[in-house]
Structure 1
């Protein structure tokens, strides 16, 4: 049941996103579109409540409960930037908005972009870690929380990988074409 709800939440996310943006830019009803987009967090609240009820009713915590926490964490950390990304593209395509801003390709500007991206992923992972730890405490010492702990280790890997990627752009910034010409000449 939890996995089905996670899939429904993901589908619901994209349906609400498409509906909100269509209302905003195609139907020219920006307030109604914004209202639909503001319904997105309700999906995660429903998932959180159903997961808590499932655990409260005696379900053994397993990978599905961990996946629910991770999904909610990733929605918290990456949901807004996904909506902003889609909004910029739909505004450009259907409402004559400016072209979406592309991330910088070179130097410290690229490193700063990578740190902002890493911060979103770290927020997602930390949120998931907090929800997972709350689930471990909620289940208590009598339950088998190994699968929840496995998800916590995975979230630590997500944090580490993102920090390594952002750090590599800082320590080894990609040089632009002008930098390469000056260095060889």
Structure 2
């Protein structure tokens, strides 16, 4: 039941998102579109309540309950960024607005962007850990909650791996592609003799006749 509800929540997330953006930009009903988008968190609330009721009714804590906590944490950490990104593209393609700015691809700007995305993963792990610890306390039986503790470790392992990837962009910033003309200008400013010789063109026909 929990896994089925997670699938329903995921499908519902995208259905509400598509309906909200369509109402906002195609039907020109911004308030209705905003109301639909604000219904997104209710899906996570429903999943949380159903999971708590399932545990209260005596269900043994399992990987399903851990997956539900991690899913809620991921949605909290990255859901807003996903909605904002899609809203920018919908405003451009459906509402005639300017194209949304693309994320930086090079240098420290790319490193800061990757760091911001990693913060979403960190927030998701914190939320998932809090929910799993509450579930562990709620059950009150250490022998029955080992699987929930395993999901806590998995969440923070994902934070560590993602953090190393984000940190690599700061340690080894990705350089933009070289511009040959700009490179020649930089070399000329340092030492004109080091500038590569340009190919010499022959005389034009009108010059030969003269």
Bin of the TM-score, shorter chain as denominator length: over 0.9
TM norm structure 2? 0.83
- Structure 1, unmatched stretches of 5+, are none
> Whole-Å Cα distance in 1 between the matches of residues 29 and 14 of structure 2?
19
The Cα RMSD (Å) is 1.7
> What is the CA-CA distance between 1:161 and the residue it aligns to?
1.0
Q: Which residue of 1 aligns with 2:99?
A: 99
Hey, what does 1:76 align to over in structure 2?
76
Structure 2 unaligned residues grouped into runs of 5+:
188-210
What is the CA–CA distance in structure 2 between the aligned matches of 1:149 and 1:61, rounded to whole Å? 10
* Runs of 4 or more consecutive aligned structure 1 residues displaced over 3 Å after TM superposition: 178-182
- Write the deviation string for residues 2-53 of structure 1: whole angstroms up to 9, x where unpaired: 1111111001100100000000000000011001100111110010000000
Q: CA deviation at 1:179?
A: 8.9
Paired residues for 1:1-185 under 5 Å: 1-141=1-141, 143-178=143-178
What whole-Å deviation, never above 9, does each CA across 1:51-78 have from its counterpart, x for those lacking one?
Answer: 0000011000000000110111011001
Measured at CA, do residues 142 and 107 of structure 1 come closer, stay the same or move farther in structure 2, by a change above 3 Å?
closer
* Higher Cα radius of gyration: 2
TM-score (norm 1): 0.94
Tell me the matched-pair count. Answer: 184
CA spacing shift, 1:162–1:142, aligned 2, 3 Å: closer
